[in-house]
Amino acid sequence: MSDRHQDLELAAPPDRAREIVREAVAELGWKCLEDEDGALVVRESPRLLLGRWPVGIKVSIADAGGKRSALKLCGRMGGFGPFIAEQLKERMEEFASRLQRQAAAHSASSA
């Protein structure tokens, strides 16, 4: 399996950041669950076409102060090698930028 970690800060308090993650996941058509320690578990729908394995991301959210949240994204994909590593990186960056867009839209609408 392949792992990748990414840190991210969102301009939203933790409760709102959780909503943002859930909204982004729903838009993507993925699944979002909550694990025992309160982290969100995001599962991509299987995309077997073109041989791509799905990605799973555990999202831990902490208060970063000043109505901001610190997100820790721990992503995993089946298999190994440079192609898998690149696909995992692509997918996590795509997910992270979607979260940031969503957070920016939220702060614009609440301003």
Partner 1 sequence: MAGGRQLAGGGVLIRPPDPGDEPGYELLLLDPEVSAWLRPEPLSPFSSAEIAEMLADDLRHWRDAGFGPWVLVDRDDEELVGRVGLHRTSVGGELVTELAWTVRPGWQGRGLATAARPVYQSPKPLPLALARAAQTADIAAEHLKIVCREEKLLEPGFRAADLPRLLRKHPQDALMLVGHEPDFSEVIASLTGGNVKMAKAGVALIDYAEKKGKLLWLVPPKLVRR
Q: Rank residues 50 and 111 by Cβ distance to partner 1 and give the closer one.
A: 50
Total interface residues for partner 1 by CB under 8 A = 26
Min. distance of Cβ 79 from partner 1 in angstroms? Answer: 6
d(CA 105, CA 85): 30
Minimal distance, residue 73 CB to partner 1, in Å: 12
Rounded CA separation 37/97 (Å): 25
Strand partners of residue 40: 34, 59
Q: Locate tokens 């994204």: which residue?
A: 73
**Nearest approach, Cβ of residue 48 and partner 1 (Å):** 5
Please list every residue from 16 through 35 that binds partner 1, using CB under 8 A: 35
Looking at residue 16, the DSSP 8-state letter turns out to be H
Alpha helical stretches, state H, the chain:
14-28, 82-110
Residues that bind partner 1 (CB under 8 A): 1, 35, 41-43, 46, 48-58, 76-79, 81, 83, 86-87, 90
